[in-house]
Structure 1
């Protein structure tokens, strides 16, 4: 009996050490899956949560969004990068609060975000997009000064029905195109129900999009 107690006593610190190590690893993984500036999920974590939403067979309508801020470069140029970071953080907070009961949201990079939400019908989606756009266009206060920002939102609308599950990558692709079209006309939001891209694809992305290596006219970025 004494030998057993001695063995357990010796093993206890080791087990505690492994517990601490496991918690430390989980914390590191959690940090890696979150954007450091906004706390929102990064792309990989967002894709996992979005996939779970898309797999659920319900009667809800699904909207896949790409959001890009308007006027962000001017905020950086005029007020500095700390002001720009503050604008990104506040945008992330607003998006997280907006999306929490509806779905999931992520920061893709820079001033670009994505979201997947479920709503009971298309009219509700449109109402939510109107609300979101108005909120994102509300001035953000930095150092006592209002920072004017706008937003361009593109959305792919998927209605329930028979057939294979919606692929997130294709929906993001067309939502990005819609966002780009909205941005060219001064901002706002727009919706498409078509999964057919309108722009040429470069490196798996819309021609002219950041990350393709080409601008909208085909020249180097």
Structure 2
């Protein structure tokens, strides 16, 4: 018994230290998957979690949001104001998803955000998008003044997809393209939100993004028509 007590006394601190180290490592790994400015998930972490949600929920809205007038805020009021706009948009996105258990939100980069939101009733999607747009376009406070950015929001619903698109990763890629098309369509009309209920992307994909989207290009071979 004495030997056992001595052994436990020796091993106890080591086990506690290992437990603390494991907790620290988990926190570091989680932090590495978070965008440091917005606090939202990064693209890779979002795609993993969104695919997981799509595999388990019958109605999932995939949403893309892009801020309008973000460059003007940066140019006029400085990069600190731009950072404040990003943080405000992230907080608005988080607030709008409250009440939707299992929702995943991310900052994809720059002033672009994404979310995968399980819905009990798909008919609630327009109200979700309208509320999100109102949240994201509300004034935010920076350096003693109220500033405003616009938002263009596009969405696609998993239950609108063809049953042939059954793999979660494939479904997510398709939904992101559909949401991207909807988002840029509404951006061309001055912002707002749009849910077209389409099932097939109207345009192709270049490097994982909608062909023709800023930042994409196609390479034409010589002699190609």
Q: TM-score, normalised by structure 1?
A: 0.86
**Partner SS state of residue 202, structure 2:** coil
Q: Say how many residue pairs are matched.
A: 212
Which of 87, 105, 130 does residue 85 from structure 2 map onto?
87
> Where do 1:2-17 residues align within 5 Å?
2-17=2-17
**Partner SS state of residue 99, structure 2:** coil
The answer (yes or no) to whether the contact 2:64–2:115 under 8 Å persists in 1 is: yes
**Partner SS state of residue 159, structure 1:** helix
Structure 1 residues 158 and 3 mapped into 2: Cα distance closer, same or farther (>3 Å)?
closer
> Where do 1:184-199 residues align within 5 Å?
184-199=188-203
Distance 2:154 2:185 in 1: 8
Distance 1:134 1:126 in 2: 12
The answer (yes or no) to whether the contact 1:158–1:193 under 8 Å persists in 2 is: no
Structure 1 residues 192 and 162 mapped into 2: Cα distance closer, same or farther (>3 Å)?
closer
Q: Which residue of 1 aligns with 2:223?
A: none
Q: Which residue of 2 aligns with 1:147?
A: 147
Q: CA RMSD in A?
A: 2.2
Q: Which residue of 2 aligns with 1:219?
A: none
Structure 1 residues 16 and 130 mapped into 2: Cα distance closer, same or farther (>3 Å)?
same
Q: Which residue of 1 aligns with 2:43?
A: 43
Q: Which residue of 2 aligns with 1:172?
A: 176
Structure 1 residues 84 and 162 mapped into 2: Cα distance closer, same or farther (>3 Å)?
closer
The farther-off stretch of 47-56 and 137-146 is: 47-56
> Where do 1:108-119 residues align within 5 Å?
108-119=108-119
**Partner SS state of residue 93, structure 1:** helix
Distance 1:69 1:62 in 2: 23
Q: CA deviation at 1:161?
A: 9.0
Q: Which residue of 2 aligns with 1:217?
A: none
The answer (yes or no) to whether the contact 2:54–2:158 under 8 Å persists in 1 is: no
Which residues of structure 1 form unaligned runs of 5+?
215-221
Which residues of structure 2 form unaligned runs of 5+?
219-225
The answer (yes or no) to whether the contact 2:162–2:199 under 8 Å persists in 1 is: no
Q: CA deviation at 1:128?
A: 1.6
Q: CA deviation at 1:192?
A: 2.2
Q: CA deviation at 1:76?
A: 0.6
Q: CA deviation at 1:162?
A: 8.7
Distance 1:6 1:122 in 2: 62
Does residue 207 in structure 1 map to residue 211 in structure 2?
yes
The answer (yes or no) to whether the contact 2:160–2:198 under 8 Å persists in 1 is: no
Distance 1:119 1:13 in 2: 47
